[in-house]
Structure 1
Amino acid sequence: MSRAAEPPERDVSGLRPYLLTSGRAQPVDQSLEIEAQVATSTHGARSPQGLTFEHRDIVELCRTTMSVAEIAALLRLHIGVARVLVADLAALGYVVVRRPAAAIDQDLSMIERVIRGLEAIR
């Protein structure tokens, strides 16, 4: 098959976002910030077998602590989908979410660092 006839490579999952979240647009924890840090819990590290692919990917990825925004970028998920999935996992005890201590909307340097970090992983 020639290179021109191959379909273009997709950067984002072809699945509709609402299929991954069972139709939900808002996370269980509606205040879950995109900069919140997520880490796999002991329970998550021991028993991710019964999870869906997307949930399992998040549990595996968060063995190294990262933000909700980083999870979305690395797994090529819509940020809203990532928030719903992370909140579900936190409610079930598979991940631990650490909320930002400072009021993020008041800290311009933090916002700039988040933007630079997101641009760096593109």
Structure 2
Amino acid sequence: MEPRRDPRGALVRPYAVTRGRTEPRQEIALEAVLMATPTQVAESRFAGHDKHRIATVCDGRAQSMAEIAAYTRMPLGVARVLVADMVTEGLLTLNTAAPVEGFEERMELLGRVLSGLRRL
């Protein structure tokens, strides 16, 4: 039997989950790639239910900020605050791409992206 859904929404309001904060501790792009190791997932159990859900979604899989919000069914603003906290606390690993320096490198990168898109 499927549990009944409350038409009024979640019982806990988003501001309660983030303790009233609306801005993340650090800026993380929506497309930033985040992962959690099994150790990080285990440690996240002690950080609260919502953080553990996020770590479970990222367990061994690279996920973007937008994907995390979608899979956990959290508002994006809430996910941004919690994910930034988790990166600061060492519960998630933020994988950043190396910056592209010059024009030639940018064109090469764009060429690889275009080639990959064409193969789809």
One of 96, 99, 116 as aligned partner of 1:99: 96
Deviation of the 1:26 alpha carbon:
0.5
Deviation of the 1:47 alpha carbon:
1.9
Change (3 A) 1:58 1:78: same
1:58 aligns with 2:93: no
> 1:16 is matched with which residue?
13
Q: Deviations along 1:39-89, whole A, 9 cap, x unmatched? A: 014641342221211000011110111001000011111111101000000
Report the TM-score when normalising by structure 1: 0.68
1:1-122 aligned within 5 A? 13-29=10-26, 31-41=27-37, 43-63=39-59, 64-101=61-98
Q: Deviations along 1:81-103, whole A, 9 cap, x unmatched? A: 10100000000001011235569
**Partner-residue secondary structure (3-state), 1:47:** helix
Structure 2 regions of 5+ residues with no counterpart? 101-109, 114-120
Quote the RMSD (CA, aligned, Å): 2.7
In structure 2, what residue type is equivalent to 1:50? F
**Partner-residue secondary structure (3-state), 2:34:** strand
**Partner-residue secondary structure (3-state), 1:86:** helix
Percent identical among aligned pairs is 30
Report the TM-score when normalising by structure 2: 0.69
Structure number, greater radius of gyration: 2
